[in-house]
A and B are shown apart, each in its own frame.
Chain A
Amino acid sequence: MKTWITQLRKGLLEFCVLNALASTETYGYELVQRLRTIEELVITESTVYPILHRLRKDGYVKSRTVASSSGPPRRYFSLTTLGKRHVGQMKDYWKDLCRSIEILMTHEGKEV
C-alpha cells in the first residue's frame, strides 16, 4: 500500500503544482504553504522547488521578481501559455481517468 501511495503521489506532484499556479500568480513560500494543506499528498519544499525549476526549464512556468514590504524580494511564479495548455490537457485526462475508474469501481462493487 505504501509503495502504491508513494508512486501515486509522485505522479501527481507536477499536476498539483501546475493547478496551484493556474488560479493565481504566487511566490515559492506561499505555494508550499498552499500545497501543504493537501495532507494526503505530503508536499514539502524539497519537492516543490525542484519541480518549479523543471517546469520553468520546460517552459510551463515563468517568474518575475517583485519587491516585498514584509521581507526580501519575492519571485512570483505563474503559468505560461504553454503551461496553461499543458494543465488543461492534464485536467481533461484526469477527469476521463477518474470517470473510468469510478465506473470500474462501481461495476466491480456490484459484482462483488
Chain B
Amino acid sequence: MPAEAQEAIRRYLNAVKRAMTATPANEQRDILNELEAHIREALASRLHSAEATTADVEAILVDMDPPESYAGAVDESTPPDRESASRPEANRRTVGLTALILVLVGLLLTIFVFACHNALTKWGVDAEALAWGSLAVCAIGCLVGWFSFRTSHGKIAAIVGSGLVFFYLAMLLHSDSPSESMEPAPSEPPSRSISP
C-alpha cells in the first residue's frame, strides 16, 4: 500500500481518537484496532488482492462514519438508565433476602427452643424469652417478606413466616406463653392397682 494511503488511514484514525477524548483509553484502543481492521477488510473485499491506491482508501473512508460521530457513539452504545433501572431491583432482592434470613433465624430458634426446652430450663436460660424472641424475629421477617413479595426470597419469607406466626398464635391460644406449650406433658402418676 502506498505511504500516502497509509497516511490517510492514520489521519482518519487520529481524528477518531481525538473525537473519543471522553472515552477510557482501553476502549479507545479497542475501537481503533477494530476500525483499522475494518478499513483493511473493506479494502480487501473491494480490491480482491489488487494493490490498494490512495484513491481506494479515500473512497472507503468517505463511506465510513465521520470521525466526530464517535464522540456521541460511545455514549449512545450505553443504555443511559441501565444502572439506575437495575438498582431498585437489586434493592428489592436484598430486602427479600433479608426477610428470608430473618424467617430462617426465627425458624431455627423455634426448633432450638422446642428441642432443648428442658435443657434450657435446667441451665437457667429463660426459654420463654427465647420463644418470644423467635416469634418477634419471625414476625419481622414475615412483614419484610410481604413487603418484598415480588422477589422469590420475599415470597418464601412471607409464606413461611406467616405459617410460623400462625403456629405461634395457635399455641398462644392454648397457653399464656409460647414456651409453656413446648414443655412436655407431665407424666401421669402410676395408677394404683386396686386390690380387693
Contacts and interface: CB of A to CB of B under 8 A. Distances in A.
Interface residues of B, number: 26
**Looking at chain B's contact residues, is the secondary structure mostly helix, strand, loop, or mixed?**
helix
Interface string B59-84: 00000110001100110111100000
A37 to B, nearest CB: 15
Interface in A17-44: 27-30, 32, 44
Given A45-B64, A47-B77, A71-B44, A53 B37 contact: no
Contacts of A90: none
A54 interface: yes
Contacts of B70: 46, 50
A72 interface: yes
A87 interface: no
Given A11-B79, A75-B34, A50 B41 contact: no
A46 to B, nearest CB: 4
Contacts of B77: 13-14, 47, 50-51, 53-54
Nearest to A70: B44
Contact of B79 (A14, A28, A56): A14
A30 B68 CA distance: 23
Contacts, number: 73
A51 B74 CA distance: 8
B40 interface: yes
**Looking at chain A's contact residues, is the secondary structure mostly helix, strand, loop, or mixed?**
helix
24 contacts: A14-B77, A14-B79, A27-B37, A27-B41, A28-B41, A29-B38, A29-B41, A44-B64, A45-B34, A45-B38, A46-B65, A46-B69, A46-B70, A47-B73, A49-B30, A50-B27, A53-B34, A54-B78, A71-B40, A71-B44, A72-B37, A72-B40, A74-B37, A75-B34
